[in-house]
Structure 1
């Protein structure tokens, strides 16, 4: 039998934040799919993936909340830009 790794137990607050981050990522990707230009879609999805991966190591709840707020502002700007492009 192979070695089993034990995942650390996360708090309810960490679970909620993790869900919020995943939801934000999905929302951003949904809006990106509405961008008319396929090349821009690819650039934006790579940008989103990179941003989320670069910040995935954070464990401090305050820092995570700060990045969620930053992501929400980016999402709002992205939605505005997409609506103007249509």
Structure 2
């Protein structure tokens, strides 16, 4: 396998790991939401967003969605922090 192909596979693997980590972080943050019905709504929204965007293969698009997800995570964490 060419060096460039290995780099691409490595980058794809790292992006996949980053997406999985973001998914886990979102669900951990959702567990901290005091309102159970809102928790369910957030879980469904998270699952739906990830499923709808799972088919993307373009690195730039994936990175854009990662940034969107990280922003959403920060907003959720801030909201939960204010609610406590």
TM-score under structure 2 length normalisation: 0.90
Partner secondary structure for residue 40 of structure 1: helix
Partner of 2:4: none
Partner of 2:3: none
The alignment yields a C-alpha RMSD, in angstroms, of 1.3
Partner of 2:12: 14
Quick one: which of 32, 48, 51 aligns to 1:50?
48
Partner of 1:24: 22
Aligned structure 1 segments of 4 or more residues deviating by more than 2 angstroms = none
Q: Identify unmatched segments of 5+ residues in structure 1.
A: 1-9
TM-score under structure 1 length normalisation: 0.88
Partner secondary structure for residue 31 of structure 1: helix
The structure carrying a bigger helix percent of its residues is 2
The equivalences for 1:62-73 within 5 A come to 62-73=60-71
